[in-house]
Structure 1
């Protein structure tokens, strides 16, 4: 999400400045308005404003999502146990293993001791605390249920982490299989082939065609590695170029959604993330408009995010959530129907969370089906490649007797 530096006047005419995250300059101006500030200067912060040699290349922009989930859970447990807010932050700063979170807790504590609210202090650190994090905390402070709101936030982040962990776990076996295949190829080409080739050369007999190809790879191993790394580098540069160009990224994400199995998985995962985040925000007491803006930020597919952004504009004009999303054709019809039923019955957040569970299950089942097809195909392909190499070497070894006998 873009970041903006702002300068604004408060209700009493005092000058305020800082940094916040918003979907656009208009959204940033609206967010400042809800804080009682009138912006007279908004500047989008460029991600490339600082030269690369001056950046901290070893650190990430913010803490890992797992650390945020742990922070939310521990904060909720401490606060609901009756520990004062400042003491909660002191304890978390001492116990946290993430450097970014320790620094953030220290900064939050300083701001709170100077009279700031917890949500206001978090909003000043957009690289650490995402939009839904701040909005849920703000709603909890406004309603006097900060402990319950923190628990809702922890449950949201933990559920999101659980889904991501299951997806990574499903992809682990194919990754290990590819690594083992690569190691086998390196051993055959780098160790066995060089020890067999001299026997044919000393006997003055031509080597089999397949063995000659392997010898060529072994003799030019450095060039092959450099060429492979070069192709990988070109691919990485192309990928970065696509992701940084809004038009190219939009076209790439549109094509991704059209793929038979992968598209269904990506759509189901983004639908589940959006609905679970929106439902959690609404249950915490956040308004529909602000919750929709925050939930949009968790959508990874840029095409879906763009359509949701347009739908949020229609919601701002007074249109119902389900109608706005249906007109944009964002999510599957089943998800839209669940949201429409929730709006009609006054149980929108409950239907959103129930629908999110359905689409999370659909995404996981889609991954299981994809792995059920991919794993045997990948295993067979690796067996053919490695088996072919081993068979070539074995045939060459068996033909050594003919070479020696002659």
Structure 2
């Protein structure tokens, strides 16, 4: 739908400027009049490219946390939802979020509920939309938004810690790859041309292998790029299918060293989400269904989705998870204790904090383990290349000396 810029006057004579999506100028005028605005100037915005990279199309968790906190504070002050949206929109620094909030504001003006308006924009997480609907129904939207702010704050901090811990190994790995590539592509050909001047020289097998790899990279680099691009595209396409996503998520869990840390991240996310949903009064079956989509792993998600039938039979969450070997015994025991004592949300929140600490320790251990492994691997590869170059040189010197 075309986007129009408008300039209008309010009943108080105030001049307003903004944008609105409509079929034509007549529809824009109708929309403005419904808002008790008197249009002064309307013009069609220039057509902009709607092609956006997927990673640019997402709003960061930090921005969502700030939005939830600001919205909660404003609602607590007794301001209605529509005015709260307008105030938050003006305070938002993220340009993409500002545009989305402007559209959300317009949808609410047209009569939609806040959850319906937010749900029509795919940028808001489904969990946030569901929680807003719960807050609207129960009349506790300000409390719900504050809980969501705390939830997304913790999620953001957890992800940042993992990213920071893995940044150094990633940088060292890239550096190692570049060093090896320079040796193979730039340095090795110099010695290869020298070896060719001595056709009778004995060249070891490992040297021939390195020389072959070097020739393939130099002469067939375009083929390597095509094969790599095709392989990456195939993996990416397969990972988006239900079967592929399950397959790769299962690998993440079982991957040596990394798998344990990743599992703790998923379990921590489940504990925090489930505890927050329970505290907000969301029905148990709905809470489990939301957790299945939020945990970010298809293997854990399938276990949670399969719980629905047993929950309908009257079994508790703790009893069901106790049968599953996927979830650690600690969290299942804590859930059972929480269900029996009626303090499930508090226990889950503390359990999530415990796993956050475990994740921090695990990431530090993983980083300290990866650093020497990468250095040793780089040393072996570079050493192998250097030895492969030096050995034929010694052979040639020996041959020349004997002559």
TM-score by length of 2: 0.74
Q: Which residue of 2 aligns with 1:102?
A: 98
Q: Which residue of 1 aligns with 2:85?
A: 89
Q: How does 1:153-302 map to 2 (within 5 A)?
A: 153-201=148-196, 206=201, 208-209=203-204, 214-259=210-255, 261-302=257-298
**How far did residue 349 of structure 1 move?**
0.6
Moved more, 155-164 or 137-146: 137-146
- Greater Rg by CA: 2
Task: Return the match for 1:345 from 341, 363, 375.
Answer: 341
Q: Deviations over 1:106-134 (max 9, x none)?
A: 12111222333322322333x22223212
Q: Deviations over 1:247-266 (max 9, x none)?
A: 45434544543455343223
Q: Deviations over 1:18-67 (max 9, x none)?
A: xxxxxxxxxxxxxxxxxxxxxxxxxxxxxxxxxxxx98352456423333
CA 1:402–1:255: 2 relative to 1, 3 Å: closer
Q: Which residue of 2 aligns with 1:314?
A: 310
Question: Structure 1 CA distance, aligned partners of 2:197 and 2:254?
Answer: 58
CA 1:172–1:325: 2 relative to 1, 3 Å: same
**How far did residue 194 of structure 1 move?**
3.8
Q: How many aligned residue pairs are there?
A: 352
Do 2:201 and 2:395's aligned partners in 1 also have CA atoms closer than 8 Å? no
Question: Structure 1 CA distance, aligned partners of 2:250 and 2:236?
Answer: 17
Question: Structure 1 CA distance, aligned partners of 2:305 and 2:215?
Answer: 56
Task: Return the match for 1:132 from 110, 127, 132.
Answer: 127
Q: Which residue of 1 aligns with 2:374?
A: 378
SS of corresponding position for 1:300: coil
Question: Structure 2 CA distance, aligned partners of 1:95 and 1:396?
Answer: 69
Q: Deviations over 1:64-85 (max 9, x none)?
A: 3333233223333444456553
**How far did residue 336 of structure 1 move?**
1.1
SS of corresponding position for 1:297: helix
SS of corresponding position for 1:129: coil
CA 1:397–1:148: 2 relative to 1, 3 Å: farther
CA root-mean-square deviation = 3.4
Do 2:217 and 2:224's aligned partners in 1 also have CA atoms closer than 8 Å? no
CA 1:189–1:107: 2 relative to 1, 3 Å: same
SS of corresponding position for 1:359: helix
Question: Structure 2 CA distance, aligned partners of 1:113 and 1:224?
Answer: 60
Q: Deviations over 1:282-311 (max 9, x none)?
A: 223333332222222112221221110121
2:145 maps to 1:146: no
Q: Which residue of 1 aligns with 2:32?
A: none
**How far did residue 279 of structure 1 move?**
1.1
Q: Which residue of 1 aligns with 2:16?
A: none
Question: Structure 1 CA distance, aligned partners of 2:312 and 2:139?
Answer: 27
CA 1:320–1:202: 2 relative to 1, 3 Å: closer
Question: Structure 2 CA distance, aligned partners of 1:97 and 1:246?
Answer: 36
Question: Structure 1 CA distance, aligned partners of 2:125 and 2:394?
Answer: 65
- Structure 2 unaligned segments of length 5 or more: list them: 1-48
